[in-house]
Structure 1
Amino acid sequence: MVLKDKVVLISVSATSSQEKTAELEKTLLTLCDKLSKHQARIAYGGNLDPDGFTFKIERKMADRHLGPKSAFIHIIDQPTFLASSFEQLGELLGSREKLVETQVCLGTNVLTLGWRRGRLSFDRGRDTTETLDRSEFDAFQRRYAVQPEDGYTNSRRAKADIVDACVAIGGKTGIVGNSADKFFGRLPGIAEEVYYTLCAGRPVVPVASLGGCAHDVAVALRIIRDSSGTEVQHQVGFEQAMTALVSVSGKIPEHVRQDLQLAAGPHTAAEISQAVVNVISRWNAGQPQGGNLYTGM
């Protein structure tokens, strides 16, 4: 299969619109199911909220196996790691066993996080592993202390370096006066992850029909036109992110633009998921755009 062992970053967060919450979640889980059937691995950079998307994806992927590899990769960003306790991380890792691969962004590096006999392990690759007990953990965290804005940007850049594609769903845009739409970091997280992934020349797919930042990303990348007709004031950083995306929109291969429009359109969760698979599969293939939501790969 074309997507076998490919790591697909799902850049998702709730929008400020409660009306689309159920549809967003359905599309997310349908997409995870579709990608896993094509033997792709799902990556998500989520926090440790027990009611959040991290654990919803984890439960969806719990029975999926790709040989020795976990089907789901949970990437903990630097600010979340710095706010976590040794006990919290140990409990998380101990409950997962081998069902989930847990990674953590520290600076510009992504390390594999493990739990061995009451110690946290940080695997840097090439047989370089650091292990810590409770008494050593606080000092380790202080080594990586940064301002949250720097931590979020470092993590988003680091994630883009290790994945093969990025799918954007929902997301905050920082509408002024709407506390439910506040984003964290210098730029909206979804826009920033799409930007760095596209800068690396890898496929990006914004699911625009569910609104939120993914819609604005699709407009900035010239996949769809903005039909809202209204001007809204956003947090500082939003316009900067959109301008940056416009500047890299030319990196999208022309032969996948029709498939991108299908993924961005008001279709069913199953149809959107198929369009996402089409985009990722064809991005580097130089194939004519299919424009067919119903053709399996």
Structure 2
Amino acid sequence: MSCFQVRTDLALEARESIGEAEEIRGVSVEETYDEKNEIRVTRVIIETKNGAKAMGKPIGTYTTLEAPRMVEPDENYHQEISSALAKELKDIIPEAEEEQSVLIVGLGNRDVTADALGPNVADNLFITRHVVMEYGKAAYSKSKMNMVSSIVPGVMAKTGMESAEIIKGVIDQTKPDVVIVVDALAARSTKRLNRTIQVTNTGIHPGSGVGNHRNALTKESLEVPVIAIGVPTVVDAATIVNDAVSGEMKVNLAELNNMYVTSKDVDYQIKQISHVICDALNEALEL
């Protein structure tokens, strides 16, 4: 069978593809499991350039939260997921205990359902910056109040501009302390579709999961810490075929490399997950 590049945005899957028995210098893995709520949290920490090269990911922390029942219509379970995600966000956001100005960016194309996670999250956020600037924290009767703003930069085909250019302009004007980017990702395994959330402090390369590379959104490019939240909503079709057929069958996987598969009820699932992420952000930012 012809060789092809397995596309995944998840550091956990990159580690799994190397093999659990094979030790990677400069890469550590920590795992916890909440048996009651069936929530598994795996933290992959890439500490050295050697580890980054082996993993194909930048140096940093990648926390993956897996919840098999994430897309089920169970509000109580969704709240458990949100609380678990909020805890991880507090751990990874720099100086999370301090009062901050936070810009949340919803990446993606709201006209393409599987790519609409970022815009959906931005649409449902609790925005506070304008109120705090006008009336102060007293408007919320709190001694600590983060100033939260959001933006949906759209896609280049509609704006004629890189998302990074738009975001950089907003950062220059609003001077946030941290940027949180939300985007749809690509996974290697269908079992992780819309059931996994990755949080990382390395930023993000928009469109990289589907081979559509855009300018990076990182601390280096934006000059402000960037936290990325991503959910795999698509799987490379070539990956599915490669996993399904025997080694003796000849399949032209190159023809499938530009095809991506998602679930048939992805519109409903995106709405569910966007609310889970919104609740987690509200809790993590103490809104």
Normalised by the length of structure 2, the TM-score is: 0.28
Relative contact order (C-alpha < 8 Å, sep 6+): which is higher? 2
Between Structure 1 and Structure 2, the one with more helix by share is 1
